[in-house]
């Protein structure tokens, strides 16, 4: 049984950098917490790593903005395992973000296609609503180097596979969410 019948099992939120994706996803998840439903748990699976001082500051700021209702789990690589471990009927999980996870996988030389397969299997077994966030990277110019093109191509394929499985797909631009599925 889902935490909230109005929230689909899998929502995929796409958009450009600083488009308002995360704010939209958090608001969507928090909308499930009502006075009648206070036992609902909010989990945030973070794929970012604090590789430098600026990123550490950004992560700390985002954690503070989420507030005390949220439990944060850092999972830069083992996203499918974290979903399997933390899913529960009375829990909404937000994953932020798929493109950072992809970048982490590629940096370690792991197979993004296999990782995506594992992720989709974990999502298929979800027992509560999950909201995935990702950066749309395929709407700009073709990157000028092989690594950036490989990243863009993997991201596009992963987005297509997640969108096919998702119950709802939302594109956020300039803080405005447009449902596309």
Output the pLDDT for position 5. Answer: 45
Active site residues: 62
Q: Which domains does the chain have, with CATH numbers?
A: 10-179 (3.40.50.300)
Return the closest-CA partner of residue 90 out of 125, 46, 45, 129. 129
Token readout for 56 is: 């550490």
Return the closest-CA partner of residue 79 out of 103, 62, 61. 103
Output the pLDDT for position 8. Answer: 84
User: How deeply is 3 buried, as exposed, middle or buried, from its count of CB atoms within 10 A (0-12, 13-18, 19+)?
Assistant: buried
Q: What stretches in the chain show pLDDT beneath 50? A: 1-5
Output the pLDDT for position 104. Answer: 96
Output the pLDDT for position 35. Answer: 64
Output the pLDDT for position 2. Answer: 38
Output the pLDDT for position 37. Answer: 60
**121: which residues sit within 8 A by CB, 6+ positions away?**
80
């Amino acid at each position: 049984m889902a935490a909230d019948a109005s929230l689909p099992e899998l929502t995929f939120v796409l958009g450009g950098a600083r488009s308002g994706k995360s704010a939209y996803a958090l608001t969507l998840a928090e909308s499930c917490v009502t006075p009648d439903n206070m036992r609902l748990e909010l989990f945030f699976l973070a794929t970012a790593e604090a590789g430098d001082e600026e990123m550490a500051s950004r992560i700390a700021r985002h954690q503070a903005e989420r507030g005390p209702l949220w439990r944060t789990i850092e999972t830069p690589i083992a996203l499918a395992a974290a979903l399997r471990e933390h899913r529960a009927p009375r829990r909404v999980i937000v994953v932020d973000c798929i493109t950072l996870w992809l970048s982490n996988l590629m940096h370690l030389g792991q197979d993004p296609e296999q990782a995506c397969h594992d992720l989709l299997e974990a999502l298929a077994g979800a027992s509560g609503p999950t909201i995935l966030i990702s950066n749309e990277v395929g709407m700009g110019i073709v990157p000028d180097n092989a690594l950036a093109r490989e990243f863009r191509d993997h991201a596009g394929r992963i987005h297509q596979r997640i969108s096919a499985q998702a119950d709802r797909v939302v594109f956020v631009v300039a803080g405005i969410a447009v449902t596309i599925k």
